[in-house]
Amino acid sequence: MDWLAHPRGAVLIALRILALGLSAMAGLGAFVLFLQFGQADGLQILDVVRAVLILISTLWLAWGAVQALIGLTTLPRAPRLEAGAPIKGATVVLVPVYNEDPVSTFSRVAAMDASLTATGESARIHFAILSDTRNEEIAAREALVFAHLVDERDGLGRFFYRRRINNIGKKAGNIEDFMTRSGAAYDYALILDADSLMEGETILQMIRRIEAEPTLGLLQTLPRVIRARSRFARAMQFSASFFSPVFARGLAMLQGRTGPFWGHNAIVRTRAFAESCGLPALRGTPPFGGHVMSHDYVEAALLARKGWLVRLDDDLEGSFEEGPENIVDHAKRDRRWCQGNLQHARIIGAPGLRGWSRFVFAQGIMAYIAPLFWLGFLAASVAAPLFVPPPDYFPEPYWPFPYFPPSEASKAIGLAIGIFGLLLVPKLLIAARAALLGHARDFGGSATAFASTVAELAFSSLTAPVLLAYATRSVFQVVLGRDGGWPTNNRGDGQLGLIEGFVASWWIVAIGASGLVLTYFLAPGLLFWLLPVGLPMLAAPWLISWSSKPTQSHLMRVPSETSLPPVVALHDRILTRWDNAFPAPDNARTEPASAAGRSPAHA
């Protein structure tokens, strides 16, 4: 079944056509059902507008569901390699940092180096910490902690640190600067984020894979979220560990030679990257001009354009990252992603790009504008009674009995069930397969894994209106020309009080209240259907605060909590020791830190 696990040629084309066809069928089905529903009181132009909006929205939901269904058909499979083959090339591990706590970040480097040492492999692997830090106090602390890192790990000649004077291009510029100055000294570069951790054996396996495939330009892993504490973060962590592997399997089956790059926890061939991935600034000013923000998608497309293979190996374990602990930090990070993805509208038509690369750009853009279609559909539905003439129960003159048009409520109910099914069924099927194959054992057993799935579905349904509100605001800000810059995330405790939650979401409360009031007066029949959207918006401050609090629930536990990965245990021990050696300054926990990298964890 390798031809299905890693489809090529005609099989790949057929699989893509099937995926797109099923998504189109779901969207068209929703379109037709809604038109039939609208005919009950006479088809109006607004009914057609709403049908088109529901078509686009359902098409997008169906694409995600189909990707999961495809992922359920196969299991990840490692490529055939010579076991323990000696590594010939030189590799550098790149760790870009930007106003990070150096004790936490540099101790990760120490843990990965110790994990590599434990393998006994003698491959030439160096570490380069690339600082874009603007805060002088943090920069001074970086130099101090780096000296300690070199001393403790006997890393002279293997560990390097440099701080750029001008951080042009942010992270992409940081990597490009290294490639220009020092990339020729290495065959491969493993690109990490400041919060990345990787097992030594995983790093070696990645090097062996890229060395064994001369056309492989980039190899992406599927990072698992670790160390989540709050309710929000634990839900994201469970989703990334339980659901994302199946979505990633579907993506890996559809990728062909044009796989994804998520900007971190991936290895590149330095020659291929240097030759293919130069990113000039776009004409004009931000948000649509200037430096490319979501550079990773673009770099993957440029590699594929040059004929290099870009691949996601979803079988690789031992690749980790951390995530935001609350909705507000998530929304700040998502704001940058939104601007970067919408900026791809300037790039999608670039000459020479492969068709699937353009499709990936379109997906990224659609991921952020999809909420606008849902918002438009809801607004049009509330306003529809203003444009619909009152029903005529006596269409025939002098006919003594009223005529009641047949109800099409069943069509509306069927449509609602279908849309919710696209959201719920894939996750329920993932839980069922985990129980059948025994994978649920790692998540507390079949019963606990199923209960965790239901809890995650309930939690995501509750927080979705709030997250969609933030995403919609981000789109409007970008379209209106507001540059979000490169905001940084807080890696600290992340707990928020009710007042902080209200300050961050008062406008969501106002929109939710206004929407429910307008619905009550204009379309009271829709009020019940809009409560699942409106009530969470009214409760946004409480939801933000409540979900930021830590929890000890046995639900949504992941394997890394019950059996700590070796490199994570190493990092914990080193970090404890270094925290004692380098007491944190008073402002260390409030300094901003760079945002975590993108993954399909929340598909």
**Domain map of the chain by residue range?**
2-75+368-388+406-562, 91-226+255-322+568-595
| Burial class, 586, CB count within 10 angstroms (exposed 0-12 / middle 13-18 / buried 19+) | exposed
Are the beta carbons of 537 and 465 closer than 8 angstroms? yes
Class of domain 91-226+255-322+568-595: alpha beta
**Which string of DSSP letters, residue by residue, matches 240-285?**
IIIIHHHHHHHHHHH-TTB----SSSEEEEHHHHHHH---PPBSS-
- E-assigned strand segments in 451-593: none
Could you tell me how many residues make up the chain? 603
Render pLDDT for 519-567 as a digit per residue (tens, 0 to 9). Answer: 999 888 888 889 999 999 999 999 999 999 998 889 999 999 989 999 9
Tokens of 239: 């989703």
Closest CA to 23 of 240, 254, 242, 246: 254
Q: Tally Cβ neighbours within 10 Å of residue 281.
A: 13
* Structure confidence at residue 398 (pLDDT): 55
- Judged against a pLDDT cut of 70, whether residue 491 lies above it is answered with no
Mean pLDDT of the chain: 89
Rounded to whole angstroms, what are the CA distances from 146 to 91, 98, 584? 20, 15, 15
| pLDDT at position 410 | 58
The pLDDT confidence band at residue 391, using thresholds 50, 70 and 90, is low
Tens digits of residue pLDDT in 103-132:
999 999 999 999 999 999 989 999 999 999
Residue 407 has pLDDT above 60, yes or no: no
Q: Which helix (H) or strand (E) holds 534?
A: helix 527-538
Question: What is the pLDDT at residue 409?
Answer: 53
Provide, rounded to the nearest whole percent, the portion of the chain with pLDDT above 70.
90
Ramachandran bin of 27, using left for φ above 0, alpha for ψ from -120 to 50, beta for the remaining angles: alpha
Model confidence at 602, pLDDT cuts 50, 70, 90, reads very low
Could you read off the pLDDT of 190-243 as tens digits, one per residue? 999 999 999 999 999 999 999 999 999 999 999 999 999 999 999 999 999 999
Tell me the CA distances in angstroms from 140 to 101, 145, 153, 291, 558, one per residue in order: 11, 9, 20, 28, 38
Query: Rounded distance, CA 530 to CA 157, Å?
Result: 62
CB–CB of 321/264 below 8 Å? yes
Q: Give me the percent of the chain exceeding a pLDDT of 90.
A: 72
pLDDT band for position 603 (50/70/90)? very low
Cα gap 540→534, rounded to integer Å = 10
pLDDT at 490 over 80: no
Q: Is the dihedral of CA 35, 38, 42, 47 positive or negative?
A: negative
Helix (H) or strand (E) holding 19, with range, is helix 9-38
> Is there a contact between 160 and 66 (Cβ–Cβ < 8 Å)?
no
Phi-psi domain of 169 (left: phi exceeds 0; alpha: psi -120 through 50; beta: other): left
pLDDT of 576 > 50? The answer is yes
Q: How confident is the model at residue 44 (pLDDT cuts 50, 70, 90)?
A: confident
Residue 17, CA distances (Å) to 24, 399, 513, 557 in order: 10, 54, 43, 37
Instruction: Please tell me what DSSP assigns to residue 490.
Output: -
pLDDT at 589 over 70: no
Write out pLDDT tens, residues 411-426.
Answer: 566 677 788 888 899 9
Chain centroid to CA 337:
9
Q: Is the pLDDT of residue 309 over 70?
A: yes
**Cα separation of 140 and 585, whole Å?**
12
pTM summary value: 0.90
Q: What is the C-alpha separation between 295 and 281, in angstroms, rounded?
A: 11
Residue carrying the six token digits 């709050």: 230
Question: What is the helix (H) or strand (E) element at residue 141, kind and residue range?
Answer: helix 136-152
